[in-house]
Amino acid sequence: MERTWRFSQQDIVEAVDAGAGRKVFDLQLDQLGPYSLDFSRSGRHMLLAGRKGHLALMDWQRTRLICEVQVKETTHDIKFLHNEQFFAAAQKKYVYIYDKRGLEVHCLKDTTEATRLEFLPHHFLLCSVGATGVLRYQDTSTGQVVATHRTRQGACDVLRQNPWNGVLCLGHGNGTVTMWTPNITTPVVRMLCHHGPVRSLAADTQGRHLATTGADGQASARQLLLLLRSSMLLLLAVKVWDLRMLRPLHAYFSPSPAECCDISQRGLLAVGYGRRVQVWRDALGSKAQSPYMTHTLAGGTLRDLRFCPYEDVLGIGHSGGVSTMLVPGAGEPNYDSFVANPFQTSKQRREAEVHSLLDKLQPAMIVLDPGEITRVVREPRDVQKEKQAAAQEANRARLEEQRQKNEEKKRMKGKNKPSRRQRKKQANIVEERKPGIKARMREQGVSAEFGHKQPRAEPGVPADVPRALHRFFKK
Amino acid sequence: MKVKAINRSEEGCTRERAQDVQKVHRNLDPALHPFEKAKEYTRALNAAKLDRVFAKPFLAALPHDDGITCLARNPRRLNSLLSGAADGDVRLWDIPARRCLRRMVGHTAAIKGISVTPDGEAAVSCSTDCTVKLWKVPFAPFDGGPLQEDSQPVLEFSGRHAFRSVDHHWGRAQFATAGAAVEVWDHERSEPVQTFSWGADTLTSVRFNPAEPDVFATAGSDRGVALYDLRSSTPIRKLVMQTRTNALAWNPMEAFNFTVRIFTFNGGHSRDVYHTKRMQRVFAVRFSGDGTYVFSGSDDMNVRVWKANASEQLGTLLPRERKQLQYNKALVERHKHLPEVARVVRNRHLPAPIYKAAKLRRVQQDSERRKTQHRIAHSAPGSVKVKPARRKKVVAELE
């Protein structure tokens, strides 16, 4: 077993081909940092955004700067749209869209004070969340604001998509991670992941694992004392979750709270804190014992980590600029020309744009299990009936409880409060009467008219009596 | 230390010269292709919509001087079509060139039926002027230009009453006419060889069975569909229907009011419906010999040529185009049960009167069904017998 974490970047660069070694670089930009960054879907282009308003788009594999712009405003995050022709930047007040010449194309005035951006390429949705804690979905092909969800969890600075199903994962200050879809106004999943604020999270490409890092590594003096006494690692700040069962899998120790993390295409986990970057291999499906690689930045503290798709490269944005490191085995070696082509010609790009617009998915198709779409559920009839009965029973219990709550107080004061009106609406009359009406319809054979099977005659009724007269017999 | 990192050379991944085809790398790993089901569904919906967008079935109109009453196609030639009009005019058309090859002059009253002999050399036409005429049918010459010559009948058979329909035998030199009675004629005889009649009403349609050489069927104005055998002197059996039968065919492909409807051979509902603003009552419809086109003759003095598949692309397809079409078709087939796709596939715009009539009919049917339901509910169980909808159309069977 080789101790791979001992190798420095220098060693690796010397050992690999010259072409691969050339991909390691250090951009010293210590005036306008710290920098956040983003890679295009083919991995060929890189976006940089300095906190003090320095935006740059570069063809990083050819070390060619495409555009550079100083927006003279605080810039929180930057994101590519569907191809490298456009990108969005979350600035002090609004989100702006720029084209590849660095010209401002749109100002999204609906989206205020966004700090994190995410783009769902298959749905053409630009998602943002920020200081107001409002999650907004905006369709970039039509310009429509598709959904606006109030998270009610305060300012939010952690936003990542699950690339497998397009569900957005938000990390909150109280240690919960919530998952959102555009068509449901409440989170579809709410998980308590950490005891301190969630600092970063990342999901893998197959939607199986979620890595979260939290600030609960900051121990109190009492905890430290305990730690020393028991010599146990209590400060487990990096956690890996099973996204399908929603269960914790493993936890890893980080000496100080990890600021950022990312998962590569081949399932490598990168975690960064302070000036240090750790890369873990086989850390998601099973518990790894030691990191795969470690790296210490020459200068500056970390701000952002991104694996480059289809390359063995990890991009690191920090306060001293932007640098890259080689992580052998991180990227997918075989690309698909029709999904993301690093050597795309302009003609191919135009074709791909049209095709992706034709195949654009509707926001309503974002669900936790993407295989559910178009699936026909065929349950046995008795299971269906059981479920139906359980649902009816639950509904009845809820209504009963609501009614009791409503009748608790008989005072006139506060009768017209919004909460009161809402409560009344919850216990609406139509819902209550539904079961009775349904039973009557069944009895009168209305359902038979619509092609349903007729129910069998009740045992108390003689066989030669027409159905219209059944109601005169005792049951 | 042995280590490898991804390093792609641009020369290896791109084409050498501008004339080469672009290099394509595929990776079918599902991790690179998320949202597979949702994408397929979206593509299916788009395919169904595109199919309706490209549904432009009308191809050509071939003009006559009066309403078209009957059509016949040459069993030996794909490109020729015969049409008979209400002014006694029969025309032979060259369909691909959209021109009239011959006008066959001779009848003095409306043509009621045309049929082409199995060798494709001659055609018989019957008319309400009590005659059946036999014509030579020339082939379409390959050189272009208008050529419209009048031609005279080769043979003439005169009967005692107006004829309503004619059908040539599939193998012999015989043909059958329908009118006041069914008569079977031979090319060599001037008098009918055989005569059948059952009841006093007029027969409107006669057809030989293509498989059984001696069997043929007629439809009459007494709501009956009767079956005959040439070897016996009397009809075999008869069905009395709920409504009058206008026409009959052994391989069904017939038509209706102001629209052309295409039915699948085993379905109860039409597959497609064609109409134009100017098309009046449609009297005659024929499929082309290869089943790609439909011809309709209507009261507005036009023979119309339609595609049998409304959105089909004519001409030679590139392999890529053909594959795309096949893919789209398979997608629609796979997702046809989903409500949005089904709605797009099923929806057809209809002329307002037909739409309203269908709506009215639906109300009537609903009320009938409701009434039956009530009748069942209020009578002793088992005493009301419900007849299936298709059986309802047959009133009686006579031997």
Does the pLDDT at position A42 exceed 60? yes
Nearest to A358 among B6, B34, B46 (CB): B46
Confidence of residue B256 (pLDDT cuts 50, 70, 90): very low
A309 Cβ neighbours under 8 A, 6+ residues apart? A39, A41, A42, A43, A265, A331, A332, A340
| CA B168, chain centre distance (Å) | 19
3-state secondary structure of A349: helix
pLDDT of residue A233: 42
Locate the chain A residue with the closest alpha carbon to B371. Answer: A449
Contact A12 B35 (CB under 8 A): no
CA atoms within 13 A on the CB side of A245: 6
Sheet holding B302-307, edge to edge: B58-63, B302-307, B293-298, B282-287
Distance CA B153, CA B134 (A): 6
Burial A251-282 (b: 16+ CB within 10 A, else e): bbebeebbbbbbbbbbbbbbbbbbbbbbbbbe
The two structure tokens encoding residue B44: 């299916």
**Of residues A63, A328, A332, A303, the one with CA closest to residue A200:** A303
Looking at beta carbons, which residues of chain B come within 8 Å of A311?
A: 6
Tell me the two tokens of residue A336: 């698909």
Closest Cα in chain A, distance from residue B84 (Å): 47
The answer to whether residue B54 scores a pLDDT higher than 90 is yes
Q: Is the pLDDT of residue A230 over 80?
A: no
Chain-chain contact of A374 with B27 (C-beta, under 8 angstroms) = no
pTM: 0.82
Q: Which pLDDT score, from 0 to 100, does residue A234 have?
A: 46
Question: For an interface test with A, which of B10, B35, B37, B369 has the most A Cβ atoms less than 10 Å from its Cβ?
Answer: B35
A/B interface, count of CB pairs below 8 Å: 136
Strand order in the sheet with A189-192: A158-161, A168-171, A176-180, A189-192
* pLDDT tier at B186, thresholds 50, 70, 90: very high
Mean pLDDT value across residues A259-280: 94
What are phi and psi for residue B242, nearest 5 degrees?
-70, -40
Inform me whether the C-beta atom of residue B200 falls under 8 Å from chain A C-beta atoms.
no
The DSSP element (H or E) to which B102 belongs, if any, is strand B99-104
Residue of A nearest to B46 (CA): A358
Confidence of residue B142 (pLDDT cuts 50, 70, 90): low
Would you say B25 and B302 are in contact if contact means Cβ atoms under 8 Å apart?
A: no
ipTM score: 0.81
For range B250-274, the mean pLDDT: 64
Predicted local distance difference test score (pLDDT) of residue B213: 87
**How far is the C-alpha of A331 from the C-alpha of B76, rounded, in Å?**
65
Q: What local confidence, expressed as pLDDT, does residue A418 receive?
A: 83
Backbone angles phi, psi at A301, to 5 degrees: -105, 155
Contacts of B36 in chain A (CB under 8 A): 370
Question: What angle do the packed helices B319-334 and B36-53 form, to 10 degrees?
Answer: 110
Average pLDDT, chain A: 89
Q: Residue A409 pLDDT more than 80?
A: no
Contact: B42, A122; criterion CB under 8 Å: no
Sheet holding A104-112, edge to edge: A75-80, A86-91, A94-99, A104-112
The pLDDT of residue B374 is 93
Please state the domain extents for chain B. Answer: 34-55+320-372, 58-307
* Per-residue pLDDT at B254: 44
Residues A85-103, mean pLDDT to the nearest whole number: 96
- Dihedral, B58, B63, B66, B72 alpha carbons, nearest 10: -70
Instruction: Please report, to the nearest 10 degrees, the dihedral formed by the alpha carbons of residues A146, A151, A154, A156 taken in order.
Output: -60
Cβ–Cβ gap A20/B6 under 8 Å:
yes
Q: What is the mean pLDDT of residues B155-183?
A: 91
B1 at the A interface (CB within 8 A)?
yes
The DSSP 8-state label assigned to residue B365 in this structure reads: H
Q: What is the per-residue pLDDT for B143?
A: 59
Flag if A361 and B38 touch (Cβ within 8 Å). yes
Identity of the residue in B7, B35, B381 whose CB atom sits nearest the CB atom of A464 = B381
Q: What is the mean pLDDT of residues A44-48?
A: 96
Residue in A with minimal Cα distance to B31: A206
Instruction: Specify the CATH number of the domain A4-365.
Output: 2.130.10.10
pLDDT band (50, 70, 90) for residue B387: confident
- Contact assignment for A2 to B373 by CB distance below 8 Å: no
Set of chain B residues whose Cβ sits within 8 Å of the Cβ of A334: 25, 27, 29
Q: What is the pLDDT of residue A172?
A: 95
Residue B329: pLDDT over 50: yes
Look up residue B151 and give its two tokens.
Answer: 């031609």
Given an 8 Å threshold on Cβ–Cβ distance, is A466 in contact with B9? no
Strands A45-50 and A209-214: unpaired
- Torsion on CA atoms A258, A260, A261, A262, rounded to nearest 10: -170
Distance CA A305, CA A278 (A): 11
Phi, psi dihedral angles at A88 (to 5 degrees): -115, 140
* Cα angle, residue A41 at apex, residues A37 and A45 outer, rounded to 5°: 55
Q: List C-alpha distances in Å: A89 to A36, A80, A191.
A: 11, 9, 29
pLDDT digit string (tens) for A127-160?
999 999 999 999 999 999 999 999 999 999 999 9
Taking residues B176-191, report their average pLDDT.
91
* Fold entry, domain B58-307: Methylamine Dehydrogenase; Chain H (2.130.10)
Short-list A390, A387, A408, A388, CA closest to A398 = A390
- Report the DSSP beta bridge partners of residue B205: B219
The residue ranking higher by pLDDT, A66 or A424, is A66
The whole-angstrom distance between A88's CA and the closest CA on chain B is: 24
Calculate what percentage of chain A has a pLDDT beyond 70. 90
Contact B46 A310 (CB under 8 A): no
Q: Around Cβ A229, how many Cβ atoms within 10 Å? A: 8
Kindly list the residues from chain A whose CB atom is less than 8 angstroms away from the CB atom of residue B13: 342-343
Collapsed DSSP state (helix, strand, coil) of residue B57: coil
Average pLDDT of A420-436? 73
Lowest mean pLDDT among A464-468, B63-67, B138-142: B138-142
The distance of B156 to chain A (nearest Cα, Å) reads 59
- Each domain of chain A, given as residue ranges in start order, spans 4-365, 381-403+424-472
A15 CB neighbours in chain B (<8 A) are: 1-3
Maximum Cα–Cα distance for chain B, whole Å? 109
pLDDT at A229 over 90: no
Q: For A288-337, write each residue's pLDDT tens digit.
A: 999 999 999 988 899 999 999 999 999 999 999 999 999 999 999 999 99
Strand intervals (E) in A334-420: none
Interface subset of B 31-70, CB within 8 angstroms of A: 31-43, 46
What is B238-295 written as a DSSP string? EEEESS------SS-----SSSEEEE-TT-SSEEEEE--SS---EEEEEE-TTSSEEE
Cβ atoms A183, A147 nearer than 8 A:
yes
pLDDT one-digit tens code per residue, B347-367? 988 888 889 988 999 999 999
Per-residue pLDDT of A330-368, as tens digits, reads 999 999 999 999 999 999 999 999 999 999 999 999 999
Q: How far is A305 from chain B (nearest CA, A)?
A: 19
Bridge partners (DSSP) of residue A315 are A306, A324
Q: Which residues of A fall within a CB distance of 8 Å from B27?
A: 332, 334-336, 339
B5 vs A328, A341, A362: nearest CB:
A328
Question: Which of B3, B6, B374 is the best mutation test for A, with the most CBs of A within 10 A?
Answer: B6
Lowest mean pLDDT among A82-96, A276-290, A324-338, B90-104: B90-104
Determine which helix (DSSP H) or strand (DSSP E) holds A419, and give its type and residue range: helix A418-426
Contact A337 B23 (CB under 8 A): yes
